[in-house]
Structure 1
Amino acid sequence: MSAKRKRDTGPPSTGPGEKDVLAGFLDYLRGAVAAKAEGVPDAQARAPGVPSGTNLLGLVKHLTYVERCWLLGEDVKDWQATFHLSSEETAESILAAYQETNAAANKEIASWDDLTEAGPRVVKRGKSGPSRRWTLTHMIEETARHAGHADILRELADGSTGR
């Protein structure tokens, strides 16, 4: 395994508004996650990199469901299942689903005028969900956390580092 170093990509340029900054950083992190999973041979992208069984494609699939829940309002019944791949799923299909979900979520975010309103997450027992501001911040945190995991898994897979 030879180390491959990509140039790091600096933080995104965004508009000055709060929503522009939050959405810009979320897109930046999404791109980092996708880049880590692109070009990895299927067997390596599916291989658990750590004892918990976490793998690159499972992280991307999980983040797809996280966005569908928090930004598109879809209910997710079994979060652990979102990390697991079927034999029919490929790197291309997982990445395409993630990018399609990102595009749909970006349309939803673009429609938001007031970040204090409740976000679209499915809410239990008639309670309002967290604000859109909280939702965007949570999505940045969740995506950044898994981007870090993806960094490590990609380096373990083929030695690649950088964003």
Structure 2
Amino acid sequence: MTALPPAPTRVDPPFTDGERAAVEAWLDVHRATLLTTCAGLTPEQLGERSVPPSSLSLRGLLRHMTDVERYWFTRVVAGREAPTVYWTDEEDAEFTGVGAEGDDPTTAVPAELAAFTAEVEASRAVAAGQGSLDDLSAGLRYGEQVSLRWVYLHMIEEYARHNGHADLLRECTDGTTGD
């Protein structure tokens, strides 16, 4: 089976950036780290559940982070209605990394990777339209507005946690990590 294309080059954030440039750069490092951890594996390997009894897979992490990007930037920051991509009424179903019945990973995984990439670009566009990190969201989270700063910091935390999971999954698959 064909491996996925290489991940984008990760660029270390400059040491002297202002706050906004710093949080944007660190979020991009974490986005690239997830892709780096997945790079070079086949679609089937991305769907492997390597740490029993967990149903978590690298494919599931990509699917989860696609919806996380959409939720925080499109729905909360921009306040726009947008359907979920993978989230369902079944809690954490996207984490299993398994698509619909009869799912062919060879075609589904490249489409899922494209959906993740498109959602990251949409998130960047939403953030670029905000004036400052102090700007409050147009949408609500638990009935409250949140600042763009809060969303950036939460996203860095979300990626950092899941990138740790991704390292363990990748290491179980072929002995390497995303570092």
What TM-score does the superposition give when structure 1 sets the normalisation length?
Answer: 0.82
Residue 118 (structure 1) shift: 2.1
Whole-angstrom distance in 2 between the partners of 1:106 and 1:22: 12
**Most deviating of 51-60 and 66-75:** 66-75
Whole-angstrom distance in 2 between the partners of 1:10 and 1:102: 16
C-alpha RMSD of matched pairs (Å): 2.2
Residues 41-95 of structure 1, C-alpha deviation per residue, up to 9 Å, x if partnerless? 2222101122121000100110110010011114656451232421145321221
1:109 paired with 2:127, answer: yes
- 2:36 is matched with which residue? 35
Checking the alignment, whether the CA contact within 8 Å between 1:69 and 1:121 is kept in structure 2 is: no
User: Gaps spanning 5+ residues in structure 2: where?
Assistant: 1-9, 76-81
1:19 paired with 2:49, answer: no
Checking the alignment, whether the CA contact within 8 Å between 2:34 and 2:178 is kept in structure 1 is: no
Aligned residues: 153
User: Gaps spanning 5+ residues in structure 1: where?
Assistant: 1-8
Whole-angstrom distance in 2 between the partners of 1:75 and 1:144: 25
Percent of aligned pairs with the same amino acid: 33
Whole-angstrom distance in 1 between the partners of 2:138 and 2:156: 16
- 1:70 is matched with which residue? 72
Letter in 1 for 2:20: K
Taking a change above 3 Å as real, the CA distance of residues 83 and 60 of structure 1, as seen in their structure-2 partners, is same
Letter in 1 for 2:128: A
What TM-score does the superposition give when structure 2 sets the normalisation length?
Answer: 0.76
1:132 paired with 2:134, answer: no
Whole-angstrom distance in 2 between the partners of 1:83 and 1:62: 6
Taking a change above 3 Å as real, the CA distance of residues 15 and 68 of structure 1, as seen in their structure-2 partners, is farther
- The counterpart of 1:80, out of the listed 92, 100, 105, is 92
Residue 13 (structure 1) shift: 2.8
1:159 paired with 2:171, answer: no
Taking a change above 3 Å as real, the CA distance of residues 137 and 49 of structure 1, as seen in their structure-2 partners, is same
Whole-angstrom distance in 1 between the partners of 2:157 and 2:113: 20
- Which protein, 1 or 2, shows the higher relative CO under an 8 Å CA cutoff with sep ≥ 6? 1
